[in-house]
Amino acid sequence: MAIENINVVQWNISYMSDIDRIKNFLNDYVVPGPVVMCLQEVTQRSYDSLVEHLQPSSSTLSLGYRKPGNNEGANRRLGVAIFSFGITITDSGLLDRTVFPDRTLWVKLNGGAGSIKIISFHSLTGVGYKKSKASNFATIADYLQNDSSIDFMCFDANEPDVDSLIIDEVKFWERNGDKGRNASLIMGPNKVHSLEDSYRKYMALHQQPKSSTMPITHFTGSKGRRYDYIFSSKDWVVRSIEHPIDKSIQASSDHSAVVACFCRATS
């Protein structure tokens, strides 16, 4: 029988965080039923510590596929990890053509009558990488365009500049050299895949006004932004979604987690 309900956690835990506080935060979301946690800025040390503490059914880390070289800096030691509880990872790998494949990860999970596929990635920053950030988005968009089997996509986008429930009002950073075009292929009105922003899906389902204030998941200076996302396919209905930024910051990250519960859509 296929999995009918699943809880998904997306979180950039920050490489500078206190891993004990991160453990305690995540432990609260290990609930009965299938749970999948997608984390970014995960070092090998923090991954090993989280596995020991959380005792997931299965887990994988992108750094195991693309190991940092002896002469590479700390920026090649920040990986993406996926932990599963009550459901087993059966296959996994990287988006190999991206600029930083070690900041990407896909997994397939045993969903009974059918598998569930999840993509997780951490966008490059426009401040540090500029044109490389745009190129990375384009490669990820190509992957998404050619794979219709994805159920969920969890990521820290470092985008947009201006957010809105009205998708045509969203503005992406122009400093990347492409004026935000490639980010729009993933998150904007020009997206080339069928996955949908789970927060927008939830708000539409509950008929919330388009003028609603958008949640904040990260601050750049004093400006609050929504940089962190769970996208989902049409096969999944969003039962609940939250952005516990205060709790996340107390746990020593500089990003809010995104926590959502999904049920399988009925035909």
What's the confidence (pLDDT) of residue 112? 61
Categorize the per-residue pLDDT at 175 as very low, low, confident or very high, splitting at 50, 70 and 90: confident
Q: What percent of the chain has pLDDT over 70?
A: 97
What CA–CA distance (Å, rounded) separates 38 from 84? 9
What CA–CA distance (Å, rounded) separates 29 from 7? 9
What's the confidence (pLDDT) of residue 259? 98
CATH number of domain containing 143: 3.60.10.10
Per residue in 43-53, pLDDT (tens digit) is 999 999 999 99
In sequence order, the 6+-apart residues with CB closer than 8 A to the CB of 197 are 187, 229, 231
> Is residue 199 over pLDDT 90?
yes
Per residue in 76-132, pLDDT (tens digit) is 999 999 999 999 999 999 999 999 999 999 999 986 657 899 999 999 986 667 789
What's the confidence (pLDDT) of residue 26? 98
Number of domains present in the structure of the chain: 1
Q: Of 4, 38, 2, 36, give the one whose Cα is nearest residue 237.
A: 4
What's the confidence (pLDDT) of residue 127? 65
Domain with 43, as residue range(s), is 5-264
What's the confidence (pLDDT) of residue 113? 58
